[in-house]
Homo-oligomer: A and B are copies of this chain.
Amino acid sequence: MDKTNNPDLRSWIEVEKGSDFPIQNLPFGIFRRPGKPPSAATRIGDTIISLHALSTHSCFKDKGFDPDVFNRPVLNDFIALGKLFGRKVRECLSALFNEDNPLLRDDTQAKEEILFPVQDVEMMMPVKVGDYTDFYSNEQHATNLGTIFRDAANALNPNWKHLPVGYHGRSSSIVISGTPIHRPKGQTKPDSSSFPEFGPTRQLDYELEVAFIAGKATLLGEPVSIAEAEDHIFGLILFNDLSARDIQKWETIPLGPFLGKDFGSIVSPWIITLDALEPFRIPGPEQQPPVLPYLSFKGNHHFDIHIEVYLQLPGQKEVRVCSTNYKNIYWNMVQQLAHQTVNGCNINVGDIYSSGTISGMDPGSYGSMIELTRNGTRPVRLPDGSERRFIEDHDTIILRGYAEKNGLRIGFGEASVTILPAKD
């Protein structure tokens, strides 16, 4: 076990019980204080730590870091320095914020320049996204959708257990948690009509996903082998792939999702490194039929991460509508990346590769509302008596995630979005 993962470590920064951000997490993000330019940060408890401010502080200097890499509006340049560099930063932070280290702890003036309460800052998109791929790697979700749109006997398509099905999504409309999204308008065609109509979607939905951020670029024509794949993965975020089911249904044949998806996707602000998640590796499901050699992997590349969806109606308390686990993916991240690049497709630092919706076996673990309400036919009843078939205006959807074991909790924070009415 890496010493930075030791559950016994404590920081001199206060960390409340149940916090997502103990000293073992040390995620990376981009923050902004009022009137200041955005720059890189990590977080312990409810304290934001400016890595740029820290980079000119004595404890952080002369370690071979280019301090300017933290003084940028996105993390791409920092991530591109490589995993070894990221690990050095992690070790440095772990030592500096250890409860026994007086260096910064007892330097009141330096702390004022480096530490900020989380409520005083705004979190920003952590990376400039190059390309974004959305996979479809959860068997239960693919089965549920196949059952809704086709039939239970033929729910999974013939290719599904042979390759991680995926498609290219829209990069420009990926936004940071807290960004509101207007209900999209578009073409839909009711089954009862022979002509399409135009208007706000009537079937707005969320999708609970976990995405990885690429950490190392490749050249066109150079596949990433499955053995090398993790070296190209920097860390994980939560991803809400908002979907307009009626628009999606009418447009999708034969070229796949387009305007039903690209009006907005929401990510959580902190990239949780694979280093921080190391204690939570587990084996994945047995894959039958056997996969082709380029998708055959060694070791554990699934992670035991609880993931949840909360729904908050205007003026109401939030209600959990889904509780499932990232371990429920059939195709893991190294298989996804090996597949994405096996034809020579090149990747860039900051690319996002998302899991696809993650569902468990029972309705309480379904990662989208179309599954939970069987395509709107069985509304979900909320504690205040109201019902939802799909998402309504002013509803807020919150994704949360955390890994927990032996008293150690490594969390993601949240990816939250409020739906505003369609624009006139």
Contacts and interface: CB of A to CB of B under 8 A. Distances in A.
Interface of A: 130-131, 136, 157-159, 162-163, 165-173, 175, 179, 181-182, 184-187, 189, 195-198, 220-221, 223, 244, 247, 250-259, 262-264, 289, 292-294, 339-340, 342-348, 351, 423
A247 B343 contact: yes
A348 B128 CA distance: 13
B198 A159 contact: no
Nearest to A196: B162
Secondary structure dominating the interface of A: loop
Contact of A159 (B169, B189, B244, B342): B189
Contacts of A157: 253-254
B263 A343 contact: yes
Contact of A262 (B196, B254, B343): B343
Contacts of A251: 159, 163, 165
A292 B198 contact: yes
Given A168-B168, A221-B182, A345 B259 contact: yes
A279 B196 CA distance: 36
Contact of A182 (B172, B184, B339, B344): B344
Given A130-B172, A162-B189, A167-B257, 16 more contacts: A136-B255, A158-B189, A159-B189, A167-B258, A172-B346, A173-B346, A179-B220, A181-B220, A185-B344, A198-B292, A198-B293, A220-B263, A259-B342, A262-B343, A262-B345, A263-B343
A197 B292 CA distance: 8
A186 B343 contact: yes
Contacts of A345: 170, 172-173, 259, 262-263
